[in-house]
Structure 1
Amino acid sequence: MKLEEQLIYKEYYISFLEGKEGDHPVAILGDAYFKEQEKERFDLSYIRFAQGEVYYHHKDYETAIFKWGQIQNELQGWARKNMGDAYFELGMFTNAEELYKSIKTDNSTLQSEIALQLFTLYIKEGRQHFANDTIQKALSLNPDYPNVTTIARTFFEENSDWVNAVKLAMEEAIRTESLSWFDLFKSYVREGRVRHLQPIEYKEMLIILYKLDQHRFEDLIIAIWDEYKHQNLSFTWLWNMNELILQLDLQQDDVWNHLPLLYRETYNELLQGVYPIGDLKEAMPNLLSAWVKITDDEQRLYASSALIAWNEVFPSTISEASVYNAEQLVRRGGMEKRALEKCIQVFESIQEWAGNQRVETDTRLRWLIQELANFQTQHLMVIGTEPSKKPSMFQMLFGDQVMGDFPSKAIMMYSDFDDIDIREMTYTYERDISGLSEFYDTIENAENIEQSLFDFKLPNHFLQKHALTLVDTPELDQHVDWQETFRYIPFADQVLFLLNAETPLNEQKCEVIKKTKEISRDIPIHFFLNIDSIPSDKVEEVVKETEKTIKEYAKDAPLRTFTKNNQRQLLQDLEEVSSSFSIEESSRVKKILYYLQMLVSSMWQQRTDIENDYMDRIHWNQDMQERLNGAIHQLKDLEEDKTNKLTTSYSQIFDEIKKELMEKIPNILRECTDIIKEESDFRTMHDKLNQVMNERVQNYLQHTTLPLVHRSFQEWIQTSKEEFDQAQNFLNDMCDGFNFMYGEERLKFDCDYKILDDWHRDGERMTVRAQLENENILNWQSPSQMFLKSAGKILGALQQNQLFLKNQFKKFIENHDYEDVTKSIMTKFFIPFDLFGQSLDRDIKAFFKQPFDVLVQEEKTVQALVVDNERKLAELRTNSELFEDPLNLFKVRLHQYSNMVNIEEVYEYGI
């Protein structure tokens, strides 16, 4: 065992035991101690150091400390470290820490041991911060020291210190080039522990890993890629990772299992329109170049065509060398599998985007694309220059009853169906046409009929047998917009060009033939010559002359003749044309790409329309907001007017009744003198009078005043209903006006007529009975009342005083001022009516609450629409890329798919 290992494990004492294995170490060391002292020049430090180790192993820590404390030679550093270990075992952590920190040594092993002991001490005391600093120091001193990296990793993981754990794994992977550290780092990536790292920090490690193990390199890149996929740093990662791929000296025999597919998925995701073009321009060139560099045979065509397409839409963003290399790969790549499926996916994406952006797409183009995706049907287009000849041919096929007698001004698509089913399509709409009568009327009278496309389905054996759609176009004379017809030519699988032998092929007709051939290119053209109008002996001459002219423009196009009286021959010729052709996927994909590009191009023109639409919406909603605000003010005025009218009329009712009572009650009280008789007991007369007065007043209120109040209250409710009806009618008119402007039944104003029911119920309750507490009319403590009351009690016992008392009482009653008493009675009587009157404002407000709430909410809704449209308009004006970027990306995809099907040239109006 080496000396340092003996010192680490405190087994230095074993060096004294050689040849003396039978004796106890203490005895052996004690004997050595005495023998050393017998020397003339002796050094006991080594023996004491060894003795300390023995005592330590036997847990005699104090003796061990004493022995180690005597060491002064080169073992002093180890001795002090051992003393710290002993204090640690004794639980004297402070002493141990002080000793560890006091040791000064250049010995790297001792330094590492001290650091590890301090680390253990700090863990024991729960001082995690100090433990972290110490293990970091141990790593920096000697990362190769046994178990240091293992201890550090365990510590970091147990404390969820993923920053340091990841740092350790990365540094050790780079330093040791051990695959186990790379595997550990990948596990951290999978667990989401590396999100604090910047993409550039992976570079050195990935370069090393590629040299060590290409498959692990691929797995790690994929793991990191997945981690960054939905983070803000994703584009930074893509740039750095692709830069790395391009810098690496990749070998031809490298086999990539998953990376090419990940590139494809990422590319497709980036083209979904989620990210700004500005970001894509930074990341895409490197991504495409790196993808082509590592792609396998299965992905090569897709990747190469994507690179070329990107450079076509965004020129000079990719190096010429990369573009050239991609072009070579495309040329020998063959046709991409599922090309049609990919085109349809683009079509669906365009439709979805257009729907979300409120962008109109051409209904006719959408229909054409969907029809082209059906490989079971062949499209045979008929073109002619003679207004009178094409209808006759179609009448031969479909009959006079269906076709009528008119030249077509629109594009007609005839196909087989169980019954007649007709649909008209224009740029902006499509509609079903109910029967031939409406169809004829539309053809003859509709404006801009030449802009329409008709899908005409009808039962027809010939079309069914040959799975054929027959496309009829307007006659190409000087009165027809040729361009509108020519845009449909790529839809055809074959073209039938009808000629009339009666009229020669003049310059205009030759120009039509030339243009048709230029546009159709690889679409077969068949010329049919109608010879009804020429003598039989002239047919051969006319046919040869016609063929000669045709060859100048369509070298391989055959010429056939037909007559309207020989339907059988015409059908045979059409059958021959139809059966001689088979639909190829590449041809259909080419046609779909043509119309997809046309669809995208048409949407580019709509930005101004969208901006104008936003402005119109803003102005319309602002106007509506002003109207709604005005309506709210009108409603407030209406509510205030009705409140004033109803509260005023209510007050007037009771003002009149109160005025009458102010006169009537005092008279009732004065009339009570009729109970004062000469024989009355004047000692209690004041009490009797008080009682009778109250009874007569209550009787009058119950039988006279309350019925009057009841009648007046009901009349007031009826008047209120009439006022409410007027208000409701006014609001109904207002509501109709708003709904007319909206074009829908959007608003509804329902005032709360339950208020009247509540008023009826309250009126019945308040006028059922007038029950008041007796009023103290004659028992007040006024001097006159007290005198009269006293006189009655004192003089009332003497008979000769009766007449006097009678006259005094009558005089008092007749001349007394009952104003205060009357007011008191009226106040008590009218309390419920006054409370009702005080709640009228609230009740009338409740009556108008629903219309008011509807108007306020609608104004908020309209205001929100104004704000939303202003925001969208501002975004459209300041962030034009929100509109343009997706369309550019659609163009990239369309260019890519054209490359994938090896289309070197496309139609005139195509890509």
Structure 2
Amino acid sequence: MKLEDQFVNKSYYETFIKEGEERHPLEVLGEAFVEENALENSDLSYIRFAQGEVYFHYKDYEAAVFKWESIHNDFEPWAQKNMGDAYFELGLTGMAEEIYKTIQTDSMILKTEVALQLISLYIEEQKHEQAVQTIKQTVAMNPDYPNVTKIARAYFEKNEDWMNAVELAVNESVRTESLFWFEVLKSYIEKGYTKTISPDYFREALAVLYKVDQIHFEQMAAALWRSYQTESCYLEWLREFNVLFAGLDIHSFETWHELSAIYQETYLSLIGGNYLLKQLTPIMPGLLTNWLRITDSGHALLASSAVLAWNDLFSAGIEPDQIADAETILYRAEKTIDQLEYPLELLDSIIKWAKLHGLSVSTRLKWMARELIDFDVQHILVAGMNGSGKTAFIQSVLADSLPEKPTQFVMAARHGDHHELAVISDGGISAITEEDSQQLDPDAILEWRGPSQFLKENALVFLDTPGLNGSQRSKVYEYLHFADGLLFVLNANDPLTVKETDVLLKIKEQVPDLKIHFLMSKMDMIYSKQEAADLVEETAQKIKRDFPQAELHPYSSHYAAREAVNGLAQFFRKNFKVENLEAHRIEKLVRCIRESITYLLKQRLQNENELVESIHRHEDMLAKLNGAANQLEDVIHEQIQLIRSSYHSMTKSIKEELQAKIPDILRKSSDYIKLNSDFRKIHLELNEEMNNRIRSFLQTAIFPKYYELVTKWIADSESELQQSQAYLGEMAEGFNQLYGENIIALACDFKIMDDWRRDADRMANGVHFDSVNILLRHTPSQVLLKSAGKLLGALSQNKAMLYNRYKKFIESEDYQDIAGLITNKVMLQFELFEQGLERDIRMFFKNPETVLRDTITETETVIDESKEKLSNMKENPEVYQDPLKLFELKLRQFEWMQINTKARQKV
């Protein structure tokens, strides 16, 4: 055993014990100590070092420290370390740590052992930061030392310090190239401990692992791939890994089933619409190229078609030789896809995306798509010039009258148990009557259903089209790619004119694979059978020159006998049968999907324009609404001023009358005084009489007059308010005409009139008048009169004098103050009513005010929301455009896969 190994195990003392020695080590060492000490140049350090070890093993730590303290030779660093161990065992961790840190040595083993002891000390004292720091230093210093990395890993895992655990696993994987550490790292990845770590951190580890073991490399890459899928750095991972993988020397004999599957999964998710093209274009070429390099047979078709489709739409990024490889792989790919399921799923995803973004795929195009996947019927486009007898032919075959329709429409005629007529436009499908057809969207298609034995037995749908020499001839070309065949109707009176030939050649140029056959109508106009036969033969030869595969069928709409119908049925079955109908329909379906994508792009621009128009329209409406609100406020203010003023004038006249007549009533009350009056109490009786006369005056003159005046005032006010209501009604009607619907109703609250009438009745009939002090006040005149009456009233000779004095006093008194007091008391409720008029009038107009205010708020909200939406549309057009471009990419990829299918069918 090496000397340092003995130091580590504290077994150096065994060097003093001979083999077979049975005595206790302390006895042996004690004897050696005595012998050494007897020497002239003795050195007891080695023996003391060994004695300290024995004491340590027997837990006599103090004796051990005593021995090691005296070591000053080359064993001193180890002795210091052992002293630290002893103090550690005694629980004196502070002293132990201090000793460990003071040890100076060049021995890597000693340094490592000291570090391990410090690690144990820090762990025991729960000093996590010091423990981590020391562990990392130790691993960096001497990672191959026994248990160093094991201790580090165990500690990190126990404390769930996954960042350091991952760092340890990565470093050890790269350093040792050991599959053990790569497996440890993969377990961390699979448990999600690496999700927040930058992908480039694993670059070197992956490169090393590829050299060590490709199978484990694939597993590690797959684990990292899946861990990053839901993280924000996912695209960064894709860039990082594809750069790394592109630099690896991949051999053709290597199989990468798992990575190939992940590449496919990733590609499909990236083009699923959750990413913008500016995010994908830097990544996709590298991803597709690497996928193509390693694709297996199960993913070859998708990988190669994805490369080719991406190159078609985004030409930069993929090298020509890689494109050539993709084409080779495409043609050799064995596994195919469901030819119908793929485009239908694509169309469904487009429809769902459109709905999510406030758009909608054209209902007309969706109808066409549904028709195309109905393989039980054939769609025959019936075309011809105006006057060719085209519509008459269809009606005679159907044995039913088609509804009259404007010439600009295409009409699909099909068998149905009941008569139905529907319009299929971009916006939807709706049932219509014949009268409605004049108001339809000119781009719509009409669908007629009705009992038709011919269509049912021959599984046909006729598409009746506008005349090819009419203003709407372009409608025919719109549906050429939809139809399974074209039946061109010729007029027997002038068959296959130069113009008809030119039109047909143009159709053939546009749709070269479309079956074209001819029907010669109006054969009943030919006078003889021979002439008819010659005409048919001559016309058939003319047709064969440009359309060698076409056939001609003579027909008369006026003689649609059973035999003629049967012959026509045979003509259709023989000539319009499409070989491999599903494949042809799928090509048409692809075209229909492409048109749907184009339609959505146009719709998005149309929505933007409509949004701009909506903002302008609502801003104009807002200006009008604010103007109306200002006008309403002017009306309210004007009515308040007018109604209050008229009421005030009315009450003013009553007030003036009270002020004028009350003094006169009081003066005339002097007639109540008689010579025989009891002048001792006359002032009391007269005061009561005066109040009674005023009360009578109020009840018989003032209150009736008030009622008469207020009734007229209410009537006049109601008339004024009625005019205001009429004005507001006209205002509301004007707004509703602008809105195109009844949105605004500016109804005022006429119940306020009933409240006024009730209040007027109450004030005119139920106002209580309390007596006022007229002669009981303490003015000097009154005091003298009342005193004289009390003193002299009992003497008859003084009554004449008192009578005259009282009479003169009553008739000459001013009474203006009393009149003012009484007037104020009487007019109080009238004035309170007047004060409430403004509130009442505003309550009358409250609903119009509320309606206008709420409408203004709603309009402002609509404008703000529309502006924000428009701003987002203009600032981020890629949010709409990019997903549609990706849908186009998927469609192009399907077309490439179709090429593979056709190539395999030929083989």
Q: Secondary structure at the match of 2:299?
A: helix
Task: Note the alpha carbon deviations across 1:285-309, whole angstroms, 9 max, x for none.
Answer: 2222223233332332222222212
Task: Note the alpha carbon deviations across 1:48-79, whole angstroms, 9 max, x for none.
Answer: 44554555566655554444433323343344
Question: 2:905 maps to what in 1?
Answer: none
Moved more, 663-672 or 732-741: 663-672
Question: 1:337 maps to what in 2?
Answer: 337
Are residue 311 (structure 1) and residue 311 (structure 2) matched? Answer: yes
Question: 1:423 maps to what in 2?
Answer: 422
Q: Secondary structure at the match of 1:339?
A: coil
**Aligned residue runs from structure 1 range 366-381, under 5 A:** 366-381=366-381
* Distance of aligned partners of 1:545 and 1:329 in 2 relative to their CA distance in 1, 3 Å threshold: farther
Match of 2:725 among 713, 724, 728: 728
Match of 1:457 among 440, 449, 455: 449
Question: 2:41 maps to what in 1?
Answer: 41
Are residue 855 (structure 1) and residue 855 (structure 2) matched? Answer: no
Match of 1:737 among 722, 729, 734: 734
Match of 1:484 among 475, 491, 494: 475
- Tell me the distance in 2 between the aligned counterparts of 1:664 and 1:29: 146
Match of 1:632 among 629, 633, 650: 629
* Distance of aligned partners of 1:541 and 1:729 in 2 relative to their CA distance in 1, 3 Å threshold: closer
Q: Secondary structure at the match of 1:104?
A: coil
Moved more, 139-148 or 403-412: 403-412
Question: 1:496 maps to what in 2?
Answer: 487
* Distance of aligned partners of 1:595 and 1:133 in 2 relative to their CA distance in 1, 3 Å threshold: same
Question: 2:458 maps to what in 1?
Answer: 466
Q: Is the 8 A contact 1:362 1:426 kept in 2?
A: yes
- Tell me the distance in 2 between the aligned counterparts of 1:164 and 1:126: 17
* Distance of aligned partners of 1:193 and 1:708 in 2 relative to their CA distance in 1, 3 Å threshold: farther
Match of 1:747 among 738, 741, 744: 744
Q: Secondary structure at the match of 2:594?
A: helix
Are residue 298 (structure 1) and residue 298 (structure 2) matched? Answer: yes
Q: Is the 8 A contact 2:467 2:473 kept in 1?
A: no
Task: Note the alpha carbon deviations across 1:386-419, whole angstroms, 9 max, x for none.
Answer: 83343454344212x4158999764332211111
Moved more, 753-762 or 503-512: 753-762
Task: Note the alpha carbon deviations across 1:510-545, whole angstroms, 9 max, x for none.
Answer: 434433433343344444556663855567766665
* Distance of aligned partners of 1:221 and 1:690 in 2 relative to their CA distance in 1, 3 Å threshold: farther
Task: Note the alpha carbon deviations across 1:586-634, whole angstroms, 9 max, x for none.
Answer: 2111011123333444555567655543332232122111101101111
Question: 2:583 maps to what in 1?
Answer: 586
Q: Secondary structure at the match of 2:104?
A: coil
Question: 2:513 maps to what in 1?
Answer: 522
User: 1:236 deviation in Å?
Assistant: 2.5
Q: Which amino acid aligns with 2:375?
A: F
**Aligned residue runs from structure 1 range 188-267, under 5 A:** 188-190=188-190, 192-212=192-212, 214=214, 216-267=216-267
* Distance of aligned partners of 1:337 and 1:584 in 2 relative to their CA distance in 1, 3 Å threshold: farther
- Tell me the distance in 1 between the aligned counterparts of 2:822 and 2:121: 97
Match of 1:845 among 838, 842, 856: 842
* Distance of aligned partners of 1:192 and 1:643 in 2 relative to their CA distance in 1, 3 Å threshold: farther
* Distance of aligned partners of 1:812 and 1:561 in 2 relative to their CA distance in 1, 3 Å threshold: closer
Question: 2:432 maps to what in 1?
Answer: 433
User: 1:892 deviation in Å?
Assistant: 1.9
Question: 2:102 maps to what in 1?
Answer: 102
Q: Is the 8 A contact 1:702 1:769 kept in 2?
A: no
- Tell me the distance in 2 between the aligned counterparts of 1:637 and 1:567: 82
- Tell me the distance in 1 between the aligned counterparts of 2:102 and 2:783: 114
Moved more, 612-621 or 651-660: 651-660
Task: Note the alpha carbon deviations across 1:190-237, whole angstroms, 9 max, x for none.
Answer: 555434333332322233344455555445444444444455433332
- Tell me the distance in 2 between the aligned counterparts of 1:688 and 1:227: 111
- Tell me the distance in 2 between the aligned counterparts of 1:11 and 1:668: 141
- Tell me the distance in 2 between the aligned counterparts of 1:562 and 1:888: 49
Question: 2:546 maps to what in 1?
Answer: 553
* Distance of aligned partners of 1:59 and 1:360 in 2 relative to their CA distance in 1, 3 Å threshold: closer
* Distance of aligned partners of 1:857 and 1:339 in 2 relative to their CA distance in 1, 3 Å threshold: farther
Match of 2:862 among 865, 870, 879: 865
Q: Which amino acid aligns with 2:546?
A: Y
- Tell me the distance in 2 between the aligned counterparts of 1:714 and 1:74: 128
Give the structure, 1 or 2, with the largest relative contact order (CA under 8 Å, sep 6 or more).
1
Q: Secondary structure at the match of 1:496?
A: strand
Q: Which amino acid aligns with 1:623?
A: D
- Tell me the distance in 2 between the aligned counterparts of 1:783 and 1:676: 23
How many positions carry a matched residue from both structures?
895
Q: Is the 8 A contact 1:562 1:570 kept in 2?
A: no
- Tell me the distance in 1 between the aligned counterparts of 2:684 and 2:22: 137
Q: Is the 8 A contact 2:398 2:453 kept in 1?
A: no
Q: Is the 8 A contact 1:346 1:890 kept in 2?
A: yes
* Distance of aligned partners of 1:506 and 1:649 in 2 relative to their CA distance in 1, 3 Å threshold: closer
Q: Secondary structure at the match of 1:298?
A: coil
- Tell me the distance in 2 between the aligned counterparts of 1:498 and 1:431: 30
Q: Is the 8 A contact 1:687 1:778 kept in 2?
A: yes
* Distance of aligned partners of 1:356 and 1:743 in 2 relative to their CA distance in 1, 3 Å threshold: farther
- Tell me the distance in 2 between the aligned counterparts of 1:884 and 1:648: 67
* Distance of aligned partners of 1:894 and 1:636 in 2 relative to their CA distance in 1, 3 Å threshold: same
Q: Is the 8 A contact 1:334 1:902 kept in 2?
A: no
Q: Which amino acid aligns with 1:72?
A: H
TM-score (norm. length: structure 2): 0.83
**Aligned residue runs from structure 1 range 488-887, under 5 A:** 488-499=479-490, 503=494, 505-528=496-519, 533=526, 535-537=528-530, 546=539, 548-559=541-552, 565=559, 566-574=563-571, 576-577=573-574, 580-601=577-598, 609-663=606-660, 721-752=718-749, 837-877=834-874, 879-887=876-884
Q: Is the 8 A contact 1:222 1:259 kept in 2?
A: yes
Task: Note the alpha carbon deviations across 1:667-719, whole angstroms, 9 max, x for none.
Answer: 6777887689998696x998998888889878987898777767766766665
* Distance of aligned partners of 1:492 and 1:95 in 2 relative to their CA distance in 1, 3 Å threshold: same
Q: Secondary structure at the match of 1:70?
A: coil
Q: Is the 8 A contact 2:517 2:550 kept in 1?
A: yes
Question: 1:908 maps to what in 2?
Answer: none
Q: Secondary structure at the match of 2:899?
A: coil
> What stretches of structure 2 of length at least 5 have no aligned partner?
903-907
- Tell me the distance in 2 between the aligned counterparts of 1:845 and 1:179: 88
- Tell me the distance in 2 between the aligned counterparts of 1:283 and 1:806: 125
Q: Is the 8 A contact 2:195 2:231 kept in 1?
A: no
User: 1:326 deviation in Å?
Assistant: 1.4
* Distance of aligned partners of 1:773 and 1:33 in 2 relative to their CA distance in 1, 3 Å threshold: farther
* Distance of aligned partners of 1:616 and 1:406 in 2 relative to their CA distance in 1, 3 Å threshold: closer
Question: 1:412 maps to what in 2?
Answer: 411
TM-score (norm. length: structure 1): 0.83
Task: Note the alpha carbon deviations across 1:802-850, whole angstroms, 9 max, x for none.
Answer: 9988888887777777666666666677666655554544444344333
User: 1:878 deviation in Å?
Assistant: 5.2
- Tell me the distance in 1 between the aligned counterparts of 2:57 and 2:781: 124
User: 1:372 deviation in Å?
Assistant: 0.5
Question: 2:288 maps to what in 1?
Answer: 288
Q: Which amino acid aligns with 1:319?
A: E
Q: Secondary structure at the match of 1:457?
A: strand
Question: 2:885 maps to what in 1?
Answer: 888
